[in-house]
């Protein structure tokens, strides 16, 4: 089975139907195990106490927020280069999920920041760039809603998404420009992780659970979008037939071949 | 070459004559700068500290205000279709339109900056620096804005959405522009690095802006 076979929406729907139950089971299982480890097994931090557990939601959500944008950008390349409707659907389905994870990351960060930093919000570079990311997501969602023709909307959104990728990178590098309060990256480092394994393992489990959650939600959202487009096409077909039928009953003298 | 010149002249004249022209942007700039002291209080020391930021935000808002006219008027009267189908490079057309738009609306903002600087109590060196950073950075705002204008061209009332889409793209320009202007006023050694970043962003916008805007215009055409 090649990528081109998958690109057929009907075949894609069939695949989703076969895979989705397993994915849901895997997601629920991974979330259950991850949450169990995060909330019951992982030790309290000697400085942060119980609030360290917020991190088990915060870090995976932040990762997913960026991963969603990457997914959206890849789909945008797909819809611009190969002009494929399924890539359009994938890009459209990613945006609300990404916005939700970005909001979750910001929200959980604020809840953690109040006891730890003494404030819900600081204009730290990384927080700021996530807020900008949220604005970009919401702008893209608004743009999807503003243009009626789905094919045109997809192309326009692909352009703004790809320009946004460059922007995200530029904003990301402005982290070094500002004096930053946020802790530096502590998982991916050259000399190994700076976190003890008792916390790293639950964190990894939660990250895996969130990725599974994203894949499940994304596939479901794509399926819904394909259905929505089919309904739209059916409605348009019905609408183009209906006036002809009604006009033939009202004015019987009208020639039938007019339409 | 001659078509480029005549296109530039056409765009410049249209931007100048339709809808109040260059003056309306400067007027809005003045209005934004005027309301800041009402918000933060008439404290000249505070105002001179955030003066560069006020001027930059004022210029950003004025630029955003004029952006929806960049392609919309041409789409309404059909000349955009002609430009798309003219066989000329659409990227170049967009670049010329941006240049004319900036000359008609952005340049007056830069020229008004030294006068408006007096209202926020900037000293001579700061006035020079803010004007210089705006001269270099304001074209980037127009170029990045062209992407938003191209994307929202087919919308009837796309102005607000355009601003929402463009503001995230303008944030890096604002960061480096304001930090160059304020850091330069304190210590001239700190000026060069953010200023060079600002120049880089403008050059970058010079490439990305026309490319993306032209792609968006092609999509909205068919």
Query: Helix (H, G, I), strand (E, B), or coil: what is residue A256?
Result: helix
Helices B192-221 and B124-151, interaxial angle, to 10°?
20
Q: State yes or no: pLDDT of A183 exceeds 80.
A: no
Residues whose CB falls within 8 Å of the CB of residue A175, separated by 6 or more in sequence, listed in order: A125, A126, A129
pLDDT-based confidence at residue A189 (cuts at 50, 70, 90): low
Q: Which of B214, B167, B175, B216 is nearest to B56 (CA)?
A: B175
Q: Indicate the domain borders of chain B.
A: 2-220
- Judging contacts by C-beta atoms under 8 Å, the chain A residues touching residue B171 are 132, 167, 171
Q: What is the pLDDT of residue A5?
A: 59
Q: Looking at residues A228-255, what average pLDDT do you find?
A: 70
Q: Chain B closest CA to A167's CA: distance in Å?
A: 6
On average, the pLDDT of chain A sits at 81
Interchain CB distance below 8 Å, A156 and B151: yes
pLDDT-based confidence at residue A259 (cuts at 50, 70, 90): very low
Query: Helix (H, G, I), strand (E, B), or coil: what is residue A164?
Result: helix
Q: What torsion do the CA atoms of B196, B197, B198, B204 make, to the nearest 10 degrees?
A: 110
Interchain CB distance below 8 Å, A160 and B165: yes
Residues whose CB falls within 8 Å of the CB of residue B100, separated by 6 or more in sequence, listed in order: B7, B8, B9, B10, B11, B12, B15
B169: nearest CA partner in chain A:
A167
Q: Is the confidence metric ipTM above 0.90 for this complex? A: no
Is A152 near chain B, with CB under 8 Å?
Answer: yes
Query: Helix (H, G, I), strand (E, B), or coil: what is residue A49?
Result: strand
Is A256 near chain B, with CB under 8 Å?
Answer: no
Q: State yes or no: pLDDT of A135 exceeds 80.
A: yes
Partner residue facing A177 (CB), from B168, B175, B201: B175
Interchain CB distance below 8 Å, A138 and B169: no
* Number of cross-chain residue pairs from A and B with Cβ atoms under 8 Å apart: 67
E-assigned strand segments in chain B: none
Burial of B49 (0-12, 13-18, 19+ CB in 10 A): middle
* Whether A136 contacts A160, CB under 8 Å: no
The string of pLDDT tens digits covering residues A27-42 is 999 989 888 888 777 7
pLDDT higher for A180 or A188? Answer: A188
The string of pLDDT tens digits covering residues A55-112 is 888 889 998 999 999 999 999 998 888 888 888 899 999 999 999 999 999 998 888 8
Interchain CB distance below 8 Å, A160 and B147: yes
Residue with tokens 């004025």: B62
* pLDDT tens over chain B, length 222 residues: 788 888 898 888 888 877 666 788 899 999 999 998 888 888 888 888 888 889 999 999 999 988 888 888 888 888 888 888 888 888 999 999 999 999 988 999 999 999 999 888 888 888 999 999 999 999 999 999 999 999 888 887 778 889 999 998 998 898 888 888 887 766 666 788 888 889 999 999 999 999 999 999 988 765
Q: State yes or no: pLDDT of A174 exceeds 70.
A: no
Q: State yes or no: pLDDT of A195 exceeds 60.
A: yes
The pTM of this model reads 0.84
Burial code (b: 16+ CB inside 10 Å, e: under 16) for B64-78 equals bbbbbbbbbebbeee
* Whether B51 contacts B120, CB under 8 Å: yes
Q: Indicate the domain borders of chain A.
A: 19-180+196-229
* Whether B167 contacts B57, CB under 8 Å: no
A178: nearest CA partner in chain B:
B175
Interchain CB distance below 8 Å, A143 and B175: no
Cα dihedral across residues B27, B33, B39, B42: positive or negative: negative
pLDDT higher for A5 or A13? Answer: A13
Q: Chain B closest CA to A51's CA: distance in Å?
A: 32
Interchain CB distance below 8 Å, A139 and B161: yes
Residue with tokens 């794509």: A222
Numbered residues of chain B with Cβ closer than 8 Å to any chain A Cβ: 147-148, 150-152, 154-155, 158, 161, 164-165, 167-169, 171-172, 175, 179, 201, 208, 212, 215-216, 219-220
Q: What is the pLDDT of residue A1?
A: 45
A171: nearest CA partner in chain B:
B172
Count of other CB atoms within 10 angstroms of residue A157:
26
> Above pLDDT 90, what percent of chain A?
28
pLDDT-based confidence at residue A256 (cuts at 50, 70, 90): very low
Q: Looking at residues A114-129, what average pLDDT do you find?
A: 78
């Amino acid at each position: 089975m090649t990528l081109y076979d998958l690109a057929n929406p009907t075949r894609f729907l069939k695949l989703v139907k076969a895979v989705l139950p397993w994915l849901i089971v895997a997601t629920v299982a991974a979330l259950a195990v991850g949450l169990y480890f995060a909330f019951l097994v992982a030790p309290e931090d000697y400085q942060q106490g119980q609030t360290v557990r917020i991190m088990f939601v915060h870090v995976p959500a932040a990762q997913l927020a960026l991963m969603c944008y990457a997914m959206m950008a890849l789909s945008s390349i797909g819809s611009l280069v190969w002009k494929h409707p399924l890539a359009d659907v994938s890009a459209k389905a990613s945006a609300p999920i990404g916005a939700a994870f970005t909001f979750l990351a910001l929200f959980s960060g604020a809840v953690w920041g109040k006891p730890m930093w003494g404030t819900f919000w600081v204009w730290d570079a990384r927080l700021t760039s996530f807020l900008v990311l949220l604005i970009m997501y919401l702008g893209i969602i608004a743009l999807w809603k503003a243009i009626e023709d789905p094919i045109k909307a997809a192309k326009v959104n692909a352009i703004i998404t790809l320009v946004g990728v460059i922007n995200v990178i530029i904003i990301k590098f402005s982290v070094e420009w500002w004096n930053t309060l946020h802790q530096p990256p502590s998982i991916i480092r050259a000399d190994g992780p700076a976190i003890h394994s008792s916390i790293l393992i639950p964190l990894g489990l939660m990250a895996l659970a969130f990725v599974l959650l994203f894949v499940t939600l994304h596939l479901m959202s794509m399926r819904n979008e394909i259905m929505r487009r089919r309904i739209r096409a059916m409605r348009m077909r019905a609408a183009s037939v209906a006036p002809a039928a009604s006009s033939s009953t009202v004015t019987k003298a009208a020639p039938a071949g007019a339409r | 070459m001659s078509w480029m010149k005549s296109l530039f002249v056409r765009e410049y004249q249209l931007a100048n004559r339709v809808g109040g022209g260059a003056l309306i942007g400067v007027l809005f700039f003045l209005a934004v700068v005027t309301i800041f002291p009402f918000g933060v209080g008439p404290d000249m020391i505070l105002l001179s500290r955030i003066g560069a930021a006020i001027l930059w935000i004022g210029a950003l808002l004025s630029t955003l205000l004029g952006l929806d006219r960049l392609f919309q008027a041409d789409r309404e009267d059909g000349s955009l279709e002609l430009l798309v189908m003219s066989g000329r490079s659409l990227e170049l057309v967009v670049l010329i339109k941006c240049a004319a738009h900036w000359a008609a609306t952005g340049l007056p903002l830069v020229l008004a900056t030294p006068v408006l600087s007096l209202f926020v109590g900037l000293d001579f060196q700061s006035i020079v620096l803010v004007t210089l950073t705006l001269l270099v950075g304001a074209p980037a705002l127009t170029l990045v804005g062209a992407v938003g204008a191209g994307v929202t061209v087919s919308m009837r009332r796309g102005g607000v959405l355009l601003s929402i889409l463009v503001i995230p793209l303008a944030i890096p320009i604002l960061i480096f522009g304001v930090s160059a202007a304020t850091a330069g006023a304190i210590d001239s050694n700190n000026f060069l690095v953010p200023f060079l970043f600002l120049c880089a962003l403008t050059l970058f916008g010079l490439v990305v802006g026309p490319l993306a805007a032209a792609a968006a215009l092609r999509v909205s055409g068919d």
